[in-house]
Amino acid sequence: MADKNLILGARLAAGGFNTGLADVVDKSIARATKNITGIFEAQAEYAAEIDRRAFDIINQFPPDINFSKLDPQHVEALQAWSTAKKEDYFKKAQQLAKTRVNSPEFLTLQTELNQIKQAYVNANDNLINLQAKRTTYTQDRGDELISSGMHKEDINLEALDKLLLPDGLEYKVAYDDFGNPTYTVGDKKITMKDLDWYSIDNKFAQFAGEQSVKVQNAGIKGLELKPGTAMYDQLMLSLDSQLRGQERFKSILNDKMFNDVGLDFTPDQIAKFSKDPAGAKEAIKQKMMSHYMNINGAAYKSYINTLNAQNNNNNSYSAGDQFDLDAAAGTVKDAITFINSRPDVNAIKRVIGQTDLEGSAKYATGAEIIKRFGEDKAAGVGVTKEDNNKLYYAAVDGQGGTQYRVVPLDQNDQGALFDFYMNAYNISPEVSAIYKSRLNLGTFTPVNNNTNPLANPINLSDGDLQKINDYINEMGISLNNVNRTGTPKSDEELITEF
């Protein structure tokens, strides 16, 4: 053992293993140094990756708002708001960059970043939307197209002017966390949802103007618009169908669409009717019908004056006009006989049947409707026992159902009966008006037609009454055998034709 130790010691003393040991130590130190360097390098690479990820997220932030184009109110409100949003976004972007992907914290931060970004985009979109509305509002206001009665109940035009007109801008604005502005004008709070103002109802104005032309043309042709005539009732039905919707009522009540119509409602009436659509509808209808009667009346008066001038000069009619007048003479005599018979609804219905075979099936008296459906169902369509002596027309409504409309014919109005008869036998309005102007037509004293349809006729003896009765019966039998040619009238021509 001693020898081996001596040998080992000698070898060590001789330095035989010193080089190898140094190499081991050097390699050990080198490895340690490399590990430490690697740690620092890894940390640097990690920090660089974090920064890269953070900048990638930050670069996704929306473009900045162009404050140079904003009015002072918006600049003041948005500068602090946008700065706070940016700082919050950058901070959360750095936190997200350090977070493991798809971890709960990562998902939460990602949602918060998207919300901040969307709020910024929303604020910018609202600014663009406001500018577009300002442009449209300014133009419409200048053209007087904005309704003074169809704005929001708590936001008047004065408040909108101060927010939207370029010479207004008397408001304050504040933004919520989602980029939605609230504008304060005086004591009014206005959001973007409140900036949907209404325009004047030009569609109804156009409809009203078209009806004015129609009634004027009717008067020129010798047709007089008055209660109880087919033209009057048809116009009432047209108005009834058009007067729908609270916005339309408000526009008609408040806006000066019809300066010549006389819709001169007082402020108290406007306030009342704005909350009472049914009352507004009736009031508007009556005022407009009065206006239409004035238009028609002026045209009709001019027509009568022309007729009187022609009657004073028998040579004023052309050969064609005179032929039409001569051809209608027999129908005129029949019309006078029809009037003098004091026709009840059944007699009136018979005339329709004799002149319009196809369409007559759609006409029924109140008594017939009640008999057909029973009292309960008849009452459901607005026909009761009190309506026995009224004539109804079956019309299809917009939902495909059947509505029974009263034929607007005053049986005591001799002129209305004359118009009905001449129209039923397809005599032109011009020819009919010429004959009507020569007749002394008035109004019957009301009688119970149901008990005696021939009671109290004008200027007729008992013998004449009997002759008329026989004539009507014979005429009805004869007309049933007539071979009618030509194009039948449409379903509603008898009661809607002007």
pLDDT at 181: 93
pLDDT per position as a tens digit, 331-357 = 888 888 888 888 888 888 888 888 876
User: What does the pLDDT average to over 135-161?
Assistant: 77
pLDDT at 454: 44
pLDDT per position as a tens digit, 221-238 = 878 888 877 788 888 888
The domain locations on the chain are: 60-199, 200-315, 345-498
Between 36 and 395, residue with greater pLDDT: 395
pLDDT per position as a tens digit, 80-127 = 888 888 888 888 878 877 777 778 887 888 888 888 888 888 888 888
Q: Name the band, by pLDDT with cuts 50, 70 and 90, for residue 18.
A: very low
Q: Name the band, by pLDDT with cuts 50, 70 and 90, for residue 203.
A: confident
Across 185-189, 382-386, 440-444, least confident range: 440-444
Closest by alpha carbon to 363, among 353, 355, 378? 353
